[in-house]
Structure 1
């Protein structure tokens, strides 16, 4: 069991260490972890990567959005007063819409007098409430004015449509309503403002 070496001192054969045990010992001894922390689970990592879709301070975000919308409205209103194309609302932008406005503003339209005339007929109807015959006459006259303004609007669109097709080709949907609605507004209250102060200045 024991043997003597040349120097005469007893010695024993050392046992070969198990590799698995050695690795475990190194791990227990505190081998340095590359990340310094255990690997998180997938659901934990996904939850950490999520960001809220709305800011934490909703009041501040709402106030900022409201302020931005107010500034945009101010720019659009000022542009409708001055005719600045850069800040006009989308419904009024573009050379075609500008041509429509200039054509309507150059023309004498019955629609622009409709509101004052209708108001006058309402006053007349109140005055002649006790007279059935006169009330019917006033009412029929008002219906006649309405019919004439509709005919005038049709004539307006026919002439304008020919010009638009000759100049721009296709006419976008909604252009007729855009022109007629402007024709039924009192000239001074139209927005964007007319580029010319007088009738008869036709667009080229």
Structure 2
């Protein structure tokens, strides 16, 4: 009753069976390498805060910055969105640039008018009647340019709202300031011809 069952294997047989099964387990189920200790894993993940070769690191950083600037300069010529400065990125900014570049703006020549006025004021003596006429002409030009920019901003806002639904903050101001720059000096460079308005 309390004795060992006849069909139960003996201790020697059990040891022999375990020894026989051991090669099978190691050959099939094992991962083949011991689990690395946490200390070894943390040491492998550590990176130095300061590069070992500082000179090479600075040179690599300088080359990377120079390459980025070169790509940005090319983007200002070609209008490539990927490398444009942040202030010029986005479809609405692109629309504003194309809209402004497609029209003739009196503001393009405001700086030339101001420069001409300064030169004339040095040539003509102060208090002269001619200088008064020049000053009046300059102020008339300034008012006309102001009205032209106001008209441009309204048309630009309307076009942006129709195309995009919501006008991003600063886009209309961005286009208005671009209209005051001489066309050939604008950056990014114009990508459309006069009269070629964006759809």
Q: Same fold (TM over 0.5)?
A: yes
Q: For the structure 1 residues 61 and 140, does the alpha-carbon distance in structure 2 shift closer, same or farther, using more than 3 Å as the test?
A: farther
Where does residue 103 of structure 1 map in the other structure?
99
SS of the equivalent of 1:194 reads coil
SS of the equivalent of 2:190 reads coil
Where does residue 174 of structure 1 map in the other structure?
170
Which of the numbers 77, 80, 93 marks the counterpart of 2:73?
77
SS of the equivalent of 2:189 reads coil
Cα RMSD between the aligned structures? 2.6
Q: CA deviation at 1:169?
A: 1.5
- 1:48-63 correspondence runs (5 A): 52-63=48-59
Going by fraction, where is helix more abundant, 1 or 2? 2
1:159 aligns with 2:160: no
Which ranges of structure 1 fall in alignment gaps of 5 or more residues? 1-48
Name segments (4+ residues, structure 1) moved above 4 Å: 49-52
Which of the numbers 115, 118, 121 marks the counterpart of 1:122?
118
Partners of 2:96 and 2:172 within 8 A in 1? no
Which ranges of structure 2 fall in alignment gaps of 5 or more residues? 1-44
TM (normalized to structure 1)?
0.68
Q: Which protein has the larger Cα radius of gyration, Structure 1 or Structure 2? A: 1
Structure 1 residues 6-44: Cα deviation after superposition (integer angstroms, max 9, x where no partner): xxxxxxxxxxxxxxxxxxxxxxxxxxxxxxxxxxxxxxx
1:202 aligns with 2:192: no
Q: CA deviation at 1:52?
A: 4.5
Where does residue 26 of structure 2 map in the other structure?
none
Distance 1:54 1:111 in 2: 52
Distance 1:91 1:146 in 2: 27
Structure 1 residues 21-74: Cα deviation after superposition (integer angstroms, max 9, x where no partner): xxxxxxxxxxxxxxxxxxxxxxxxxxxx98643324444333322221111111
Distance 1:132 1:140 in 2: 13
Greater RCO, 1 or 2 (C-alpha within 8 Å, sep 6+): 2
Q: For the structure 1 residues 58 and 129, does the alpha-carbon distance in structure 2 shift closer, same or farther, using more than 3 Å as the test?
A: farther
Partners of 2:178 and 2:186 within 8 A in 1? yes
How many residues are aligned here? 159
Where does residue 87 of structure 1 map in the other structure?
83
